[in-house]
Chain A
């Protein structure tokens, strides 16, 4: 995957930090020890503490236990390998890179709850695409939050990409429509649409979001080519609710898991994958546009469970 290559090393540093935290814990629990009930209990505790959720954690541990009872595995290290396989099975080889339009501009709609990291994540995607010599345009459809437009504008200036904006307090769908027209007339390759943060529990705001999507489709029936849900990696079990409601209203095609550079593990994406089938496409590992990495299940799992 050519995308993000330039930023790769930087990202690795970010990941390594995340990795070492988790790995230390799991490693010390599992490695070099024979399997035991107690060990399994500790493993379950670790998973729960990584926000896998009680149900998912118990299921995963039950699988390990079953394999142990069948004498297929007998040590902590086996269990780790087994777990990797299990988790890998959650992420079958499907397209996790961005999906581009066959012709004309690719439209990427970005949504999520308040403060998840949407605007910053857009800057990250924009930069990597720009670095690939794609002509990128941003649409400032957050007409609600104080200085949201200015925030995106600053990113557009720093990255040297164009931004389309409307009136503060104006109709975000109208801005989206204008942006679609501009993208077409200016021969843009990718249009990234930033939307206001909204809680999934607010029906009128979710309706507003589906309206934005419909308006985009008026201009480009095949669009949006990607609908990215930005999730804060520190979020707990509520993320499943978030993902399911956003998926219902705008048919989410992938998750951008932001803020994975802290101590949160983002384990909830495993439950989301299982319940809703939504893949994770990117992870965010910092506040600058370079702090992004494509989501690679193997690496994600490894970052969690191996040295």
Chain B
């Protein structure tokens, strides 16, 4: 639905390729594409302006102008700059500092007091539950406190979540729950009560020797002075060690207004972006990071209690650019196929030497890789198209039957397949002549594609893939393109969330 940077750059690339070096006006033109792509991803207008100004200066430097692949160079500059903004680590510097920054910083002696804040419905209560689960699994003793006294059933919601955490995750001490039901009142009639509840919760957490106490506050508008005042009062009453702003990843331009207000009225330590399991491009992340200067600590990726992930600046940058979660995609693909295999096929395809046997191989691999489909869905736009492409088992079976009815010679040289041979094959495989014709056509397309794609960069390849649509039936192995991803192929293995916490624990 929305054009994305990938599309736009493909065009830019087309325009630029063959020119060798590019001019300043080429760069400026490409910058307009970047600007549009970022706006369509919901990055705030002012943030986009600022961001593009930075980029333009870099792009106008020798790097791009001198580059033989200016388009790719441009994408790289934009991407690197996005990652830098998101991580707070300037381009070219080691990411150690960011990597070393734990999700929650613990104080000793405890309890570490964490306060959740944010607009209505952003996901504070759910995230409180998720965070409690993460910490419990690390062996921390956690208390959650119901400081939302105005939304109907908010207290009960948190209680249910605390119980669920205890039921679903054995490891670690049980999560405690603090609530004062007598303070619950209708909207506007409980203002201020949260202060007492939080104070009591922290005192109780101290008594119970909890490591962490998480305060779940009511959703509120940043322009509601009364309710914002309540949060400030909580802040001064219990002095939370960490104040987190919970923001919906689908938020549009207004993210800047609310983040700015929360950040200036409270001493925010970090941001949690929720509902990241949607297909939002997530530009709000950039706006919020830029406006508050505070790190994004976690991503909420589902309604379940285990759906909380570490934040990867590279991944979200790709997503904002419309490049999808390329890193995850590559990681997953690597689990499924050896690079040599893919390269071999890639080469064959490039030379136009793909055979029906290769084609059949791909089909079978494809079948095994059903999970790939969900992964491809991570790529906004084009990815969605591929993901929606039906990989129909029956279709694969039929194709398999047809290919198996071909002679060895026919399989290596499709041009042999005249009408009489096709009739024989269709009879032999119990299919219609039209099916055979369709397969041959699909095969031709794929091998054609292979030749064309050999010179392209990864992004254009993905795009070309999507263009093929259903014409090729299920005849294309995503790994073929993975193999061609060049530099992306060897994404460094990142320690998982769990491993990281382990390491951290060891360090202490």
**A residues adjacent to B (C-beta < 8 A):** 17, 45, 48-51, 53-54, 113-117, 144-148, 150-151, 153-155, 158, 197, 199-202, 232, 234-241, 244, 259, 261-265, 268, 287-288
**Interface mask (B117-128 → A, CB under 8 Å = 1, otherwise 0):** 001111101100
Are A263 and B258 in contact (CB-based, < 8 A)?
yes
Q: Does B503 contact A (CB under 8 A)?
A: no
Are A234 and B251 in contact (CB-based, < 8 A)?
yes
Instruction: Known contacts A45-B45, A240-B1; decide if A199 and B277 are in contact (CB<8 Å).
Output: yes
**Interface mask (B303-325 → A, CB under 8 Å = 1, otherwise 0):** 10000000000000000000000
Residues in chain A near residue B281, CB distance under 8 A: 237-238
Residues in chain B near residue A234, CB distance under 8 A: 119, 248, 251-252, 254-255, 258
Could you list 16 A-B pairs, sorted by A, with CB under 8 Å?
Answer: A17-B223, A45-B45, A53-B40, A115-B123, A115-B248, A145-B157, A151-B151, A201-B377, A232-B121, A238-B279, A238-B280, A239-B252, A259-B120, A261-B221, A264-B254, A268-B252
Q: How far is the CB of A283 from chain B (nearest CB, A)?
A: 15
Are A236 and B223 in contact (CB-based, < 8 A)?
no
Closest to A235 in B: B250
Known: A113-B275, A236-B284. 15 other contacts (CB 8 A): A48-B39, A53-B40, A114-B275, A115-B121, A146-B157, A151-B151, A199-B278, A234-B252, A234-B258, A238-B278, A241-B1, A244-B1, A259-B120, A259-B121, A262-B223
Instruction: Known contacts A51-B253, A201-B277; decide if A237 and B42 are in contact (CB<8 Å).
Output: yes
Are A151 and B250 in contact (CB-based, < 8 A)?
no
Residues in chain B near residue A113, CB distance under 8 A: 250, 275, 278
**Interface mask (B151-171 → A, CB under 8 Å = 1, otherwise 0):** 111101111110010000000
Give the one of A144, A238, A288 with max B CB within 10 A.
Answer: A238
Give the one of B39, B152, B222 with max A CB within 10 A.
Answer: B152
Instruction: Known contacts A54-B36, A241-B1; decide if A150 and B156 are in contact (CB<8 Å).
Output: yes
Q: How far is the CB of A192 from chain B (nearest CB, A)?
A: 16
Are B42 and A114 in contact (CB-based, < 8 A)?
no
Are B152 and A154 in contact (CB-based, < 8 A)?
yes
Cα A263 to Cα B223 in complex, Å, equals 8
Q: How far is the CB of B477 from chain A (nearest CB, A)?
A: 24
Q: How far is the CB of B397 from chain A (nearest CB, A)?
A: 24
Closest to B277 in A: A199
Q: How far is the CB of B470 from chain A (nearest CB, A)?
A: 19
Residues in chain B near residue A199, CB distance under 8 A: 275, 277-278
Residues in chain A near residue B159, CB distance under 8 A: 147
| Number of B residues, CB within 8 Å of A | 54
Cα A200 to Cα B257 in complex, Å, equals 26
Q: How far is the CB of A251 from chain B (nearest CB, A)?
A: 19
Are B283 and A200 in contact (CB-based, < 8 A)?
no
Cα A101 to Cα B353 in complex, Å, equals 65
Are B303 and A263 in contact (CB-based, < 8 A)?
no
Cα A94 to Cα B157 in complex, Å, equals 40
Give the one of B157, B252, B278 with max A CB within 10 A.
Answer: B252
Cα A158 to Cα B184 in complex, Å, equals 14
Give the one of A49, A53, A148, A237 with max B CB within 10 A.
Answer: A237
Residues in chain B near residue A155, CB distance under 8 A: 152
Instruction: Known contacts A54-B40, A113-B275, A199-B278; decide if A236 and B120 are in contact (CB<8 Å).
Output: no
Q: Report B254-305 residues with CB < 8 Å from chain A CB.
A: 254-255, 257-258, 275, 277-281, 283-284, 303
Cα A237 to Cα B153 in complex, Å, equals 31
Instruction: Known contacts A51-B254, A232-B248; decide if A117 and B121 are in contact (CB<8 Å).
Output: yes
Are B152 and A237 in contact (CB-based, < 8 A)?
no
Cα A147 to Cα B164 in complex, Å, equals 12
Q: Does B461 contact A (CB under 8 A)?
A: no
Cα A232 to Cα B186 in complex, Å, equals 22
Contact of B153 among A154, A232, A265 (CB under 8 A): A154
Q: Report B1-27 residues with CB < 8 Å from chain A CB.
A: 1-2
Q: How far is the CB of A188 from chain B (nearest CB, A)?
A: 22
Residues in chain B near residue A241, CB distance under 8 A: 1, 279
Q: Does B141 contact A (CB under 8 A)?
A: no
Q: Report B180-197 residues with CB < 8 Å from chain A CB.
A: 186-188
Residues in chain A near residue B151, CB distance under 8 A: 151, 287
Cα A114 to Cα B277 in complex, Å, equals 11
Are B42 and A238 in contact (CB-based, < 8 A)?
yes
Q: Does B44 contact A (CB under 8 A)?
A: yes
Cα A153 to Cα B278 in complex, Å, equals 29
Give the one of B121, B125, B280 with max A CB within 10 A.
Answer: B121
Contact of A150 among B39, B123, B153, B258 (CB under 8 A): B153
Residues in chain A near residue B303, CB distance under 8 A: 114, 144-145, 197
Q: How far is the CB of B163 from chain A (nearest CB, A)?
A: 9
Cα A268 to Cα B254 in complex, Å, equals 12
Residues in chain A near residue B255, CB distance under 8 A: 234, 236
Residues in chain B near residue A268, CB distance under 8 A: 252
Residues in chain A near residue B222, CB distance under 8 A: 262-263
Are A262 and B258 in contact (CB-based, < 8 A)?
yes
Q: How far is the CB of B451 from chain A (nearest CB, A)?
A: 35
Cα A292 to Cα B280 in complex, Å, equals 28
Are B221 and A262 in contact (CB-based, < 8 A)?
yes
Closest to A240 in B: B1
Cα A71 to Cα B223 in complex, Å, equals 42
Residues in chain B near residue A117, CB distance under 8 A: 120-121
Closest to A144 in B: B303
Contact of A236 among B36, B121, B257, B280 (CB under 8 A): B280
Q: How far is the CB of B44 from chain A (nearest CB, A)?
A: 7
Q: Report B103-150 residues with CB < 8 Å from chain A CB.
A: 119-123, 125-126, 129, 150
Residues in chain B near residue A51, CB distance under 8 A: 252-254
Residues in chain A near residue B150, CB distance under 8 A: 287
Residues in chain B near residue A148, CB distance under 8 A: 153, 157
Are A236 and B251 in contact (CB-based, < 8 A)?
yes
Q: Which 3 A-B pairs have the closest CB atoms?
A: A236-B252, A115-B121, A236-B42
Closest to B155 in A: A147
Residues in chain B near residue A288, CB distance under 8 A: 186-188
Contact of A116 among B2, B121, B153 (CB under 8 A): B121
Residues in chain A near residue B187, CB distance under 8 A: 287-288
Q: How far is the CB of A45 from chain B (nearest CB, A)?
A: 6
Residues in chain B near residue A239, CB distance under 8 A: 250, 252
Q: How far is the CB of A50 from chain B (nearest CB, A)?
A: 7
Cα A262 to Cα B161 in complex, Å, equals 29
Q: How far is the CB of B418 from chain A (nearest CB, A)?
A: 44
